[in-house]
Amino acid sequence: MRLRFRFRLIPCIATILVVVLGIALGNWQERRAAQKTGLQVQLTERARQAPLVLTGGTSDVPQEFRRVSVRGQFVPGFAVFLDNRPYQSRAGYYLVMPFKIEGADQYVLVARGWLPRAAGAVGQLPLYQTPAGAITLEGVMRLDLGHVMQLGTAPPLTPNAMVQNVSVADVARASNLPLLPFFIQQTRPQAARDTLVRDWPSPATGVDKHRGYAFQWYALATMAVLFFVFTGFRRDPNHKLNPSPE
């Protein structure tokens, strides 16, 4: 039996498309893995640095994930609750409040922590306490607090609003406060009767996940080529076996 490869145009075009798609998506996942690796290095380096003291001046340049320290006072009149922020499988909110920096006409938004939602109390504000007077707090600088799916149109941003997502620019427009262009995820201090949870999730790097996806896309491209080649071989109908000599 003799096999002969038979070229087929349509399967060839389909194979080329699958190979191009698989390689392109595999390369994209590799780039994402490289970005996440760089992010992990950045997180490690900045976690080792001493807290940057914020003064409200021009030296307060946003350095995401940098530990910071700032002294001032909370402005309780414009609290915002970020909804749909579960913690350990419990529904709840992130409490965000402006913080007046001592000795400067500048404010910074502080994510004070997580508060649970009472069972059956949808739309009811959770209870919390706000320190009176000036305090020194520490935290981590963040450019955003993460985004969740927004269903419908976001309500107007008002004091004690419950929203899915918020940006510094949103709060600055609604409150008319001169806000620095970043958030602080508060880590300390933890007052005796403070019910806020400050177990902030670490930024997901997912390097292994991206590399796994890249392997799958490259494998798909390889399998497409192998399938095209293997299915292209057919028995040659014109080939006849030589008769055995008598």
Q: What are phi and psi of 126, to 5 degrees?
A: -75, 155
Considering the chain, what percentage of its residues have pLDDT values greater than 90?
44
Give the closest residue to 231 by CA, choosing from 26, 1, 10: 10
Q: How does pLDDT run along the chain (246 residues), one tens digit per residue?
A: 577 778 888 889 999 999 999 999 999 999 988 888 887 777 777 777 888 899 887 667 778 888 999 999 999 889 999 988 999 989 899 999 999 999 899 999 999 999 998 776 666 788 888 988 899 999 999 999 888 877 667 777 899 988 999 999 999 999 999 999 999 999 998 776 788 999 988 776 678 888 899 999 999 999 999 988 888 877 666 655 555 555
Structure tokens at 67: 């530990």
Peptide bond into 237 cis (omega under 30): no
Q: Over the stretch 21-41, which tens digit does the pLDDT of each residue have?
A: 999 999 999 998 888 888 777
Give the global pTM.
Answer: 0.71
Buried b (16+ CB within 10 A) or exposed e, 114-150: bbbbeeeeeeeebebeeeeeeeebebbbbeebeeeee
Give the closest residue to 117 by CA, choosing from 96, 94, 139, 92: 92
Structure tokens at 241: 């076996």
The Cβ-side half-sphere exposure at 178, using a 13 Å CA radius, reads 6
What is the C-alpha to C-alpha distance for residues 130 and 128, in angstroms, rounded to an integer? 7
CB 222 within 8 A of CB 142: no
What is the C-alpha to C-alpha distance for residues 105 and 83, in angstroms, rounded to an integer? 30
Q: Are strands 67-74 and 52-53 parallel, antiparallel or unpaired?
A: parallel
Q: What is the dihedral of CA 159, 163, 166, 171, to 10 degrees?
A: -10
The pLDDT assigned to 6 comes to 83
